[in-house]
Every structure is written in structure tokens, then in C-alpha cells.
């Protein structure tokens, strides 16, 4: 289902981009996020990494000229480092339950942070949520309800 999710996410991202002029955090991001909709800690850590990335890039832009390709690459690198930092905290337990703070993917926090910088936080996050839920819904419908352990529909 990973290939189907990524492919469907690409199509939905392209449609949203063409119809509404909004990007859901990158072309591949809705497909990846759709796979993690049942893991709220992973989604929360992805958002934390994205906001940290956005803040770091805005802070660095006061001291450096970052624009164009340089800004894009710097944002993705910072997002990767933020995700790596969050992954390193995966291990503490609360009430005997392990807290897995690993974000979605390796470059997803950077991609989401980059698009939050370009088109705004609200536009990026609402487009991402709608696109990811739409991908997940289509995958559940296509799989007959058996997507991720859900009982099959007769």
C-alpha cells in the first residue's frame, strides 16, 4: 500500500496545486502522511520538526542572504536535522508505554517547513490535512476496508 499511497498522494497534490494553487507540503508529503494518520505522535513530531525548521530558517535569514535554491536546500537540511534530533529522543516511556517521537520520513519536516515559509502556515497545513485524509479515504475504499487492519466490508 505504500506505493499506492505515494502515487495517489502525487496525483492529489498535483490536482490541488493546479485547481487551488496550494501545495500540501510537497508532492509526496500527503501520501506519506496518509500512511501515518493512525500514529498521532509521529504526526505531532513531524509538525514540531516543521515548525522548528521554519523558525530556524526565519532566524538565519536575519543574518544570511537565503533565497531561491539556497533557501530550499537549507530548509530541507534543517528539516532533516530536526527530524534526526526528534528521532534521537525516541525511547522514553510514560506509564510503561514507549514514546516513539520519530517524525514521518526524513525530509518531510523540511518539505512542510519550506512550504509553510512560502505559502503560509494555515494554507499549507489545511491543504496537507485535506489531501492526506483524501488519500487515506480512497485507499480504504479501494482496499475494501482492509487498509491497516480494518475489518473488511462484505
User: Residue 104: which pLDDT band, with cuts at 50, 70 and 90?
Assistant: confident
pLDDT of 50 higher than 90: yes
The full set of domain ranges for the chain reads 2-149
Least confident of 8-17, 36-45, 56-65, 94-103: 94-103
pLDDT of 148 higher than 80: no
DSSP letters, 26-78, are: SSSHHHHHHHTTT-HHHHHHHHHHHHHHHHHHHHHTTTS---HHHHHHHHHHH
| Set of cell numbers at residue 54 | 521554519
| Set of cell numbers at residue 101 | 517521537
Q: Which residues contact 136 (CB under 8 A, 6 or more apart)?
A: 34, 37, 147
Query: What average pLDDT does this structure show over 22-48?
Result: 90
The confidence score (pLDDT) of residue 80 equals: 93
pLDDT of 101 higher than 90: no
| Set of cell numbers at residue 84 | 534526526
User: CB 92: neighbour CB atoms within 10 A?
Assistant: 10
> pTM for the whole thing?
0.85
Contact 128, 136 (CB under 8 A): no
Reduced to 3 states (helix: H, G, I; strand: E, B; else coil), residue 146 is coil
Amino acid at each position: 500500500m505504500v506505493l499506492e499511497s505515494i502515487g495517489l498522494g502525487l496525483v492529489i497534490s498535483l490536482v490541488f496545486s493546479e485547481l487551488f494553487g496550494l501545495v500540501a507540503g510537497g508532492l509526496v508529503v500527503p501520501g506519506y502522511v496518509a500512511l501515518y494518520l493512525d500514529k498521532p505522535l509521529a504526526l505531532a513530531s513531524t509538525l514540531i520538526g516543521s515548525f522548528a525548521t521554519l523558525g530556524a530558517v526565519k532566524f538565519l535569514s536575519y543574518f544570511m542572504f537565503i533565497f531561491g535554491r539556497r533557501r530550499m536546500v537549507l530548509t530541507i537540511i534543517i528539516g532533516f536535522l530536526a527530524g534526526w534530533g526528534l528521532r534521537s529522543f525516541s525511547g522514553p516511556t510514560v506509564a510503561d508505554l514507549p514514546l516513539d517521537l520519530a517524525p514521518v520520513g526524513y525530509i518531510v519536516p523540511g518539505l512542510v517547513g519550506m512550504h509553510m515559509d512560502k505559502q503560509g502556515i494555515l494554507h499549507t497545513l489545511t491543504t496537507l490535512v485535506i489531501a492526506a485524509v483524501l488519500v487515506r479515504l480512497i485507499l480504504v475504499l479501494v482496499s475494501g476496508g482492509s487498509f491497516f487492519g480494518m475489518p473488511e466490508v462484505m
